[in-house]
Amino acid sequence: MIQLNSFAKINLCLYVLRKREDGFHDVCTVMQAVDLHDRLSLYKIPEGIVVQADDPELSADRRNLAYKASEIFLKENHISSGVKIGIQKRIPLSSGLGGGSSNAAFTLIGLNSLFKTNLSRKRLMHMAERIGSDVPFFLSSGQAVATGRGEKIREVKLPLDYWIVLIKPHVRLSTPWIYENLKIDLTKKKKSIRIYKKRKSFFDSMVAWENELESTAVKKYPQIKELRRKLEKIGAIKTSMSGSGPTVYGIFDKPRYKEVKGLRASEWQIWVTRPIPLLVL
């Protein structure tokens, strides 16, 4: 049996460049892993794939990306036995924090250890690309610029000495719905994002970065904008929606636990997290 943490991510920015012939969109995004995580337990079983989660709303079939990751891994490695996957959820569903993609990536890592296949990161990356757009990111160092539909990863080195407050309203946003309703200028051919390693320069550039999916999300859920205002009011250096939302985050140079305590309400979930590196295989 193997147990491991499956970490969340935030998008420090997200730009949509164009619609592709395959129906997806080309994007350019800077992603950062954070220490909010699910807990995975992987067990060998005689045959098949079984997913058991403590969240009854989480799919346990091929719609579950950890299931899909297991299916691809077992088939590609000609493994006749099966696997049972236990998932303790802390990353909320449909939140823009990459929970499903993370579960898939860390399932690949766990299976590689469980079955002693010793696959390289490159091999695991090829599998990850077939599972979903954000999955390859979670096999990276945890700091990356992602392009294409999100599967092309370029690792970067960014400061880690700050705090992140996550607030998720009790609503869900479907990524396909966001892109179907997206109305922005898609004539841009590319987007250049300058990455600074020094803390002050990094913070200055990060403040100007945007998430171009947010304007579409706000039309359906205006509370996203209100949550950003609340975070700004308690001193956030930067606020934004993460990914396809609806989770909003604030970047702080101090933890601000007292101020965050004043934000707690029944209308949303809230976490104080830190940016983290991920283990590079």
Positions marked active-site: 9, 134
User: Could you give the C-alpha distances from 119 to 76, 124, 270, in angstroms and in order?
Assistant: 11, 7, 37
Give the helix ranges, DSSP H, for 146-256.
Answer: 175-180, 199-208, 214-220, 223-233
By the 8 A CB rule, do 231 and 239 touch? yes
Upstream peptide bond of 56 is cis (omega within 30 degrees of 0): no
**Token output for 46:** 């005689």
CB-count burial class (<10 Å; 0-12, 13-18, 19+) for 141: middle
By the 8 A CB rule, do 124 and 156 touch? no
